Amino acid sequence: MAVQAKASALDELYSEWERGGTSPFFPVIEANHGSFVTTDRHEQLLMFGSCDYLGLSQDPSLKEAAIKAIEEFGTNTYGAQLLCGHTRIHHEVESKLSSLTSLPSAILFPSGMAANLAVISAMASSEDVIINDRTDHVSIFMGSQLSGAEMRTFPHNNMKKLESLLSQYEGKRRRIIIVDGLYSADGDFAPLDEIAALAAAYDAKVIVDEAHSFGTVGPNGLGVADHFGVLDTVDAVVGTMSKALGSVGGFVLTKPVLERELRYMAPSYTSSRGSAPGVVGATLASLTLLETCGGELRERLASNTALVIGRLREAGIDLMKTRSHIVPVLVREENKTIQVANWLMEHGVFTAAFVYPHVPSNTGRLRIGITSRHTTAECERLISLLIEARDRFSF
């Protein structure tokens, strides 16, 4: 059913855009200069579509660390981690991550998706129920399916429905609530203070995916659980290095028993190659940089975010319920969303067009990713172009 829906969406929309030469998808990046990219179709686009929230993917210290790691260890590790181990820098990354929260064990995966598949399928089985927010990331649903647990969902951030599901499933061995900390297509937070209270009341476990919030949200930059002061009540945190950390890879922070199970048993760890040394070198440099100037980078990100959100809302543009550096500009109709994204590119600004089936039909949006690297002038350029686009396309 879902596959059929996706296939027909591709036929009707994506193929039509491809034929008409208007598809904004899969741009080929020819060059990267600071906040600008040159693609196969456009020169010097101001990048407002990325998840590089702290601008670290272009940082010289990450580049140098990646090169140094390659020089020291080569471009790959020797084999599966279980048998051939991993490098000293993989180990240093895990030890840095394990010192960040009250969850004392950290385990590094090749991607955030692999981390979700592993931790969810290890924590749940057929005797359990997994309760997901309906807008959770697809990798959470994939991990849930893999676990064999019964799966239920609640409407986005609807705590009443979550509570009624928790009470309905009191007979299960485990109730496991899984949420994204910061929702990547909406920009809003999971109410983790309320979720933690419900989990305590119904003896449920909580896994939070901080992919878009690790490094950027909370007094210590550890994510939305950190923001709400409930990090020590969570059973596992999943993160990715592919957003604010400017690198690639995923991780799970959890308790030692689960960590051991993941290392020996999780197929996406045991039977998939660990991250390449260059990538882990960049990750380590990024975590080190966050220790020294994470606070300053987050302040700049917050002030750029306040400027963009404040001015666009003042102009009457619908930004949904965002409260973060992910700013969805709601255009609604799919064709119009693509037209606006293309018009913005023709005028020098790159935004990410999110349309069905990645978001519900008729809620097409331009997903603006603000970064701490953007200057005030660059934010102003985005604001004035979006206002012009809204007047021209009426959304």
Ligand X SMILES: Cc1ncc(COP(=O)(O)O)c(C=O)c1O
Comparison of 286 and 342: residue with beta carbon closer to ligand X: 286
Region 65-124 residues binding ligand X, contact defined as CB under 6 A: 111-113, 116
Which two three-digit tokens encode residue 119? Answer: 């931790």
DSSP 217-264: SSTTSS-HHHHTT-GGG-SEEEEESSSTTSS--EEEEE-HHHHHHHHH
Comparison of 211 and 329: residue with beta carbon closer to ligand X: 211
Region 126-155 residues binding ligand X, contact defined as CB under 6 A: 137, 139
Comparison of 272 and 303: residue with beta carbon closer to ligand X: 272
Q: How far apart are CA 349 and CA 342, in angstroms?
A: 9
# chain residues binding ligand X, by CB under 6 A: 14
Consecutive H or E run containing 340: helix 334-346
In the chain, the N- to C-terminal Cα span, in Å, equals: 31
Q: How far is the CB of 304 from ligand X (least distance, A)?
A: 21
DSSP 261-322: HHHHH-HHHHTSPPPPHHHHHHHHHHHHHHHHHHHHHHHHHHHHHHHHHHHHHHTT---TT-
Q: How far is the CB of 219 from ligand X (least distance, A)?
A: 21
Q: How far is the CB of 95 from ligand X (least distance, A)?
A: 20
Q: How far is the CB of 250 from ligand X (least distance, A)?
A: 5
Comparison of 242 and 283: residue with beta carbon closer to ligand X: 242
Sign of the C-alpha dihedral, residues 313, 381, 391, 22? negative
Binding residue for ligand X (CB under 6 A) from 23, 132, 240, 286?
A: 240
Q: How far apart are CA 145 and CA 180, in angstroms?
A: 17
Which two three-digit tokens encode residue 234? Answer: 């969570």
Per 3-state DSSP, the chain is made up of helix, strand and coil in percentages (nearest 5) of 45, 15, 35
Comparison of 368 and 379: residue with beta carbon closer to ligand X: 368
Comparison of 240 and 283: residue with beta carbon closer to ligand X: 240
Q: How far is the CB of 203 from ligand X (least distance, A)?
A: 26
Q: How far apart are CA 325 and CA 188, in angstroms?
A: 10
The verdict on 250 binding ligand X (CB under 6 A) reads yes
Comparison of 113 and 317: residue with beta carbon closer to ligand X: 113
Binding residue for ligand X (CB under 6 A) from 132, 242, 268, 283?
A: 242
Comparison of 144 and 242: residue with beta carbon closer to ligand X: 242
Region 175-234 residues binding ligand X, contact defined as CB under 6 A: 180, 184, 209, 211-212
Q: For residue 229, which of 255, 191, 258 has the smallest C-alpha distance? A: 191
Q: How far apart are CA 373 and CA 379, in angstroms?
A: 10
Q: How far is the CB of 209 from ligand X (least distance, A)?
A: 5
Kindly provide the residue ranges of all beta strands, DSSP E only, lying in 78-124, ordered along the sequence. Answer: 105-109
Q: How far is the CB of 263 from ligand X (least distance, A)?
A: 19
The verdict on 305 binding ligand X (CB under 6 A) reads no
Write the single-letter amino acid at 184: S
The verdict on 55 binding ligand X (CB under 6 A) reads no
Strand-pair partners of 240: 250
Q: How many residues does the chain have?
A: 395
Q: How far is the CB of 239 from ligand X (least distance, A)?
A: 9
Q: How far is the CB of 355 from ligand X (least distance, A)?
A: 16
Strand-pair category, 29-33 with 36-39:
antiparallel
Chain residues binding ligand X by CB under 6 A are: 111-113, 116, 137, 139, 180, 184, 209, 211-212, 240, 242, 250
